[in-house]
C-alpha cells in the first residue's frame, strides 16, 4: 500500500467515525492523548511548561491543541493551522415525531448550514450526536456522545410519475420535502417521545433521565477510494474533516521543538462562526492570552507574539468542474490532485494577500508539493471561510487554503488521494520551520 493510499484510507476511517462535530473532537482528542498531549479544562487552573503538549476543548465541538516550544514565543511567534469540525446537514428538532396520513412516522428536522438538499434524498441515513442527562448539578448536566451506527431513516424523493417536471428542476422545500421517514405506523407504535425512548435504549438509560439532545442526520455508508487509478476519495464531510485530519497528522508528526505550534478546530463555520465555539468568538485569543500569562509574559510580549505569528486557515476549495467549466474563472482552474489551493478574494472573503500567499507558496516549494490558486468569476458571489472571521478577532498574518474538491456541501463529496498527502507534507513543513 502506498503512503498516499494509506493516508486516504485513514482519512476515510476518521470521517466514518466522526458523524458529528462532537465525534470529530472526541476522536481528535483521543489521538492527541495517545501521543502525549495532556488535557486542560477551561474551568480549572492551568500549569504549562516549555516543551509541554496540551489540548483543551470548548462546548464539545471545538478543540485547541498546542505544543510549547523551547524558544520565546515573542521572538518566533506561534504557527497556527485552523480548520472546522462542522458540516452542512440536518438537526433533529425537539419533539420531532410527526405522523403522515396516519400511516408513517417521520422526524421534524431543521437544515444546518447550506447542504445540497437533493443529494440527501433516497440514501440510508443514521442519527448521531449528544444527549444531555440529569446529574447532581442542574448547571452541569451529564453529556453522552452517541451514534446509532446503523441505517435508521431515509428521505424519500417523489416518483417521476407523480411529478413529470422533476428532471426540469425542482425547488425542494426544507420543511415539507426533507423530513426523514422512520417507520410505518402500527398498533404497537408509541409516538410520544419516540426518539427519546430510542436514545435511552441506545444509551441504556431510563428515558426520564434524558433532558435534551443535539442529534443530527448523517449518511450511513462509508466513504471509499474510487477510479481505475484509485485517485479519488468519495466521502461525506471532506469539507472540512479532511483538513482537520491533515492538521492532526501534521502536528503529531512534527519534529521541531523550538517554536510553539497550535492546531485550532473551530465549530459552526458553516453558519457564520459567530458562536461561543466558533472562529468569530474570543475563544482563541483567550487561550493565547492564558498560555502567555502562564509562561510569565507581559502584555507587550503577547502583542509581539501575535505579530510574529502566522496562521494557515485550512478549508476545502473548489476544483474546476468537468461539466460546468463556465462556472469558474476563465484563467485559474484548480484541479483535483493538483495540490493545495490558495484562495484569493479582492474583497477579503478570503484573508489571503500577496504576503501570506507568498509564504504558503514557499512552504509548498520546500515540501516539494504543487500549489494552485483559486478566485471566483468576477460576476459570481462565492463563499467565505473562517480565516477572515478569525482575523477580525486576532490580527495574525493569515492565508486561506484548501484542497480542491467537487460537490462541496453534497452529502457525498469528491476529493483527491494525492492532495491529502500533499497537504500533510505542506503542513508538516510549516510546523517544522
**Mean pLDDT computed over 166-173:** 90
DSSP characters for 284-336? HHHHHHHHHHHTT--HHHHHHHHHH-EEEEE--EEPPPTT-GGGS-SS----T
CA distance 264 to 281: 13
Residue with cell 426544507: 174
pLDDT score at 94:
96
Whether the per-residue pLDDT at 191 is higher than 80: the answer is no
Q: What is the pLDDT of residue 186?
A: 86
Q: What angle do CA 428, 71, 430 make, to 5 degrees?
A: 15
The kind and range of the H/E element at 60 are none
Q: How far apart are the first and last CA of the chain?
A: 29
Angular region, 273: left φ>0, alpha ψ -120 to 50, beta rest: left
Q: Is the pLDDT of residue 349 over 90?
A: no
Q: What is the mean pLDDT of residues 243-251?
A: 98
84 grid coordinates: 472546522
Residue 81 has pLDDT above 90, yes or no: yes
* Dist CA 365 CA 138 (whole Å): 54
The C-alpha cell 426540469 sits at 168
What pLDDT score does 423 carry?
98
Using an 8 Å Cβ cutoff, are 306 and 260 in contact?
no
Give residue-wise pLDDT tens across range 202-226.
999 999 999 999 999 999 999 999 9
Q: What one-character DSSP code corresponds to residue 406?
A: B
Dihedral, CA of residue 230, residue 231, residue 236 and residue 242, to nearest 10:
120
Amino acid at each position: 500500500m502506498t503512503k498516499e493510499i494509506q493516508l486516504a484510507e485513514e482519512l476515510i476511517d476518521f470521517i466514518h467515525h466522526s458523524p458529528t462535530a462532537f465525534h470529530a473532537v472526541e476522536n481528535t482528542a483521543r489521538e492527541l492523548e495517545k501521543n502525549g498531549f495532556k488535557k486542560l479544562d477551561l474551568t480549572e487552573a492551568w500549569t504549562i511548561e516549555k516543551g509541554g503538549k496540551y489540548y483543551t476543548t470548548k462546548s464539545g465541538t471545538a478543540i485547541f491543541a498546542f505544543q510549547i516550544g523551547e524558544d520565546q514565543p515573542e521572538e518566533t511567534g506561534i504557527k497556527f493551522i485552523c480548520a472546522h469540525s462542522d458540516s452542512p446537514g440536518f438537526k433533529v428538532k425537539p419533539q420531532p415525531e410527526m405522523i403522515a396520513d396516519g400511516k408513517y412516522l417521520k422526524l421534524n428536522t431543521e437544515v444546518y448550514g447550506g447542504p445540497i438538499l437533493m443529494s440527501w434524498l433516497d440514501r440510508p441515513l443514521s442519527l448521531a450526536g449528544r444527549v444531555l442527562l440529569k446529574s447532581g448539578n442542574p448547571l452541569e448536566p451529564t453529556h453522552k456522545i452517541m451514534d446509532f451506527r446503523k441505517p435508521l431513516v431515509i428521505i424519500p424523493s417523489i416518483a417521476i410519475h407523480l411529478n413529470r417536471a422533476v428532471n426540469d428542476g425542482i425547488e425542494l422545500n426544507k420543511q415539507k420535502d426533507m423530513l426523514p421517514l422512520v417507520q410505518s405506523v402500527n398498533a404497537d407504535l408509541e409516538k410520544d417521545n419516540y426518539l427519546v425512548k430510542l436514545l435511552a435504549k441506545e444509551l441504556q438509560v431510563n428515558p426520564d433521565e434524558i433532558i435534551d439532545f443535539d442529534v443530527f442526520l448523517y449518511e450511513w455508508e462509508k466513504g471509499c477510494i474510487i477510479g481505475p487509478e484509485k485517485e479519488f476519495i468519495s466521502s461525506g464531510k471532506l469539507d472540512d474533516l479532511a483538513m482537520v485530519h491533515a492538521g492532526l497528522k501534521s502536528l503529531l508528526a512534527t519534529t521541531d521543538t523550538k517554536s510553539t505550534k497550535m492546531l485550532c478546530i473551530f465549530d459552526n463555520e458553516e453558519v457564520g462562526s459567530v458562536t461561543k465555539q466558533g472562529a468569530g468568538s474570543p475563544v482563541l485569543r483567550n487561550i493565547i492570552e492564558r498560555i502567555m500569562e502562564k509562561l510569565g509574559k507581559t502584555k507587550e510580549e503577547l502583542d509581539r507574539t501575535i505579530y510574529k505569528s502566522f496562521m494557515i486557515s485550512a478549508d476545502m476549495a473548489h476544483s474546476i468542474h468537468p461539466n460546468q467549466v463556465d462556472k469558474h474563472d476563465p484563467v485559474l482552474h484548480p484541479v483535483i490532485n493538483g495540490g493545495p489551493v490558495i484562495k484569493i478574494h479582492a474583497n477579503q472573503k478570503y484573508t489571503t494577500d500577496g504576503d501570506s500567499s507568498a509564504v504558503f507558496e514557499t512552504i509548498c516549494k520546500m515540501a516539494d508539493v504543487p500549489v494552485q490558486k483559486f478566485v471566483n468569476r468576477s460576476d459570481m458571489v462565492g463563499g467565505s471561510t473562517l480565516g477572515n472571521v478569525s482575523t477580525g478577532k486576532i490580527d495574525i498574518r493569515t492565508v486561506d487554503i484548501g484542497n480542491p474538491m467537487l460537490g462541496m456541501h453534497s452529502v457525498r463529496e469528491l476529493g483527491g488521494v494525492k492532495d491529502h498527502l500533499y497537504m500533510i507534507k505542506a503542513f508538516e513543513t510549516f510546523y517544522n520551520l
